[in-house]
Amino acid sequence: MEQLHDTREGWLSHGMVLAARRFRDAGYSLPDNLKVACGFAPGARGGKALGVCISPKASADGRTEMFISPTISEAITALGVLVHEMAHAAVGVEAGHGPAFKACATKVGLEGKATSAMPGTSLNAWLASEVLPMLGSYPHAAVDPNARKKQGTRMIKLVCPETGYTVRTTKKWLEQGYPTSPAGCEMVPVGEDEGE
């Protein structure tokens, strides 16, 4: 599929405009100040949330903000999460995954448990045939939040046995010799701490 957008946010914003038709047809309106970005949900640990919709009360400029997880690289999945978050925006974030959300989600074609509702067959077919051709490929590669390089330097804790004075250093500096404490005693190693 051809890439028609240079940025993820441009692609998601265009997708939001196109998907809004599904909400209008179902009798729902969306806030005028809706904003979408590719990013980890604020407060979500480990990148587990696929999307989040933030109340305009929590936004400094009063916008309803949606975030689509950067762990998602499949265009149809990103659109499905976007529609889920748009349903939150349509009924108000405060409604959570309650009855108002469930009714809206069902009317626009989301299926399954409210907390994880994703496009059913009809909505998936519509997104694939009507929306994706107008968006082109999703200009994003998945991000693994757990693939960060682990800290390689290990700090070695040294203590003065007489006073309890403590310092941390690396093996490299210990190869030059062990330091002495301000009291003049030779420091001895007591363990390793991961560097910060």
Go through the domains of the chain in sequence order and give each one's CATH number.
8-135 (3.30.2010), 154-194 (no CATH)
What is the per-residue pLDDT for 133?
A: 96
* Whole-angstrom distance, CA of residue 118 vs CA of residue 82: 10
Q: What is the pLDDT of residues 98-147, one digit of tens each?
A: 999 999 999 999 999 999 999 999 999 999 999 999 999 999 999 988 77
- What pLDDT shows up at residue 174? 87
**pLDDT attached to residue 105:** 98
Q: In the chain, what is the straight-line distance between the N-terminal and C-terminal CA atoms, in Å?
A: 44
Angle CA(108)–CA(80)–CA(60) in degrees, nearest 5?
A: 90
The C-alpha atoms of residue 20 and residue 134 are separated, in whole angstroms, by 14
**Residues 114/120/126/131 CA torsion (nearest 10 deg):** 50
| pLDDT tens track for 161-178 | 989 999 998 888 888 888
Task: Determine the pLDDT at residue 35.
Answer: 96
Single-letter code of the amino acid located at 75: A
Place of tokens 């490929």: 137
Task: Kindly report, residue by residue over 30-78, the tens digit of the pLDDT.
Answer: 999 999 999 987 766 556 789 999 999 999 999 999 999 999 999 999 9
∠ Cα 48 110 51 (to 5°):
25
Give residues with Cβ within 8 angstroms of 120, minimum separation 6. 109, 110, 111
DSSP string, 43-97: T-STT--SEEEE-GGGSTT--EEEEE-TT---HHHHHHHHHHHHHHHHH-GGGTT
Strand partners, 189: 158
Distances 3 to 7, 8, 15 between C-alpha atoms, Å: 10, 11, 14
Please state the pTM of the whole predicted model. 0.75
How far apart (Å, rounded) are the C-alpha atoms in residues 13 and 168? 50
* Structural Rg of the chain based on CA atoms: 26
